[in-house]
Amino acid sequence: MGATAHDAKVDELSWMAGSWTCQKWGGTYEEHWSTPAGGLLMGFSRLLVPGKSAFKEISRIEDTEDGMVLYVEVNPKREKAGNITAFPIKELTKEKVVFENLKHDFPQRVIYTKKSDGTINARIEDEGQPAEDFVFQKMKL
Q: Note whether residue 2 is domain-resident.
A: no
* Contact indicator for 68, 7 with CB cutoff of 8 Å: no
Mean pLDDT of 114-139: 95
Cα 18 to Cα 3, 99, 108, distances in angstroms: 23, 20, 25
Can you name the residues that pair with 139 across neighbouring β-strands? Answer: none
Mean pLDDT of 89-97: 96
Q: Note whether residue 31 is domain-resident.
A: yes
Q: Note whether residue 70 is domain-resident.
A: yes
Express each pLDDT in 8-50 by its tens digit: 899 999 999 999 999 999 999 999 999 999 999 999 999 999 9
Q: Note whether residue 41 is domain-resident.
A: yes
Quote the domain boundaries for residue 43: 10-138
Cα dihedral 7→15→30→121 (10° resolution): -80
Claim: this prediction has a pTM higher than 0.75: yes
123 vs 27: CA distance, rounded Å: 18
CATH number, domain with residue 91: 2.40.128.20
Q: Note whether residue 5 is domain-resident.
A: no
Q: Note whether residue 57 is domain-resident.
A: yes
Count of the separate structural domains present in the chain: 1
Give me the pLDDT at residue 74, please. 84
Q: Note whether residue 1 is domain-resident.
A: no
Q: Note whether residue 72 is domain-resident.
A: yes
Contacts of 112 by beta carbon, 8 Å cutoff, 6+ apart? 13, 16, 96, 97, 120, 121, 122
